[in-house]
Amino acid sequence: WSSGRIFRPLSAAGRDQRGPSSGLFRPGLDPRQAVLSAWPGAALSNSGFPCCRVTLNQGMAKLYFNYSTMNAGKSTVLLQAAYNYRENNMEPYLLAARIDNRAGEGRIASRIGISAEADTFTAEDDLFAMVEARLAKAEAACIFVDEAQFLTRDQAWQLARVVDDLKLPVLCYGLRVDFRGELFPGSATLLALADEMREVRTICRCGRKATMVIRQDENGNAITEGAQVQIGGNETYVSL
C-alpha cells in the first residue's frame, strides 16, 4: 500500500490479506466477492480479479464526469472551462473522439458557435500514453475529454491513471445513456471511477428537465432498435 490512490490487483492467493476493513477476508469467502462488496470503487480486472481505486488523499487531482442527455451544452461548458485555464496562463490538453467529426476532425465545437482544436483518439489508443507524450512536449494543467461516452472501459481506467500517477485533473464530458436507455461502456466505467460527477441539465420540450434521449427516423418516429452508436445531431436525436 502507498499514499494517495491505490491500484491493487487482488489474487486468489490473497485470502489472508487485510484491507481497510478488519476481517474482510474470512475463511471460505471468495476474496473477489469480498472486495466488490466492501469497496464501491472496485471492479474486475481483465484477469477476473478485483482491482481497487481507493481515494486516500482528498486534496489530490480528481477524475470528473460531467454527463447529460443530448443538447445540454456539454461542449460549451468544456470550452468555457478550458478558456478559463488559458486566461490564467495554464494550458489545458483537449481530447475528442475521432468518430464524431461533425465539426471537422480535431475540433471540439459548441452549438453556440465556439470551438477549439483537440487531439483525437480511437478505441485502440492508450490515453495514458497519449497524455504522457503530450507532457513530454509541453506542460498541461488539466485534461479535457469531449464525447466521453465513446471511451472504452480500458480508456476510462487509463484516465484514472492520469489522475493518480501524473497528478493531473481529468474532466470528461459525455452522454450517460443511449437512445435505448442503456449505459455506454465508457460512461458506465466513469460512473464507477469518477471522484466527482456532475449533471449538465437541459430541458424537454414539455419544459421539465430532460433525462433521456430518443433516436428518430426521417419522419420523426422514435426508433427503438439499432446500433448503439450513430453520429447525428438535432435531425437524429431529441432529448426528453
CB of 5 closer than 8 Å to CB of 55: yes
Separation of CA 176 from chain center:
10
Which residue in 148, 103, 99 sits closest to 127, CA to CA?
Answer: 148
CA distance 42 to 36: 6
Check if 196 is active-site: no
The one catalytic residue in 105, 132, 147, 196 is 147
CA distance 55 to 75: 28
Q: How far is CA 169 from CA 48, 61, 62, 173, in A?
A: 29, 5, 5, 13
CA distance 106 to 98: 7
Catalytic site positions? 147
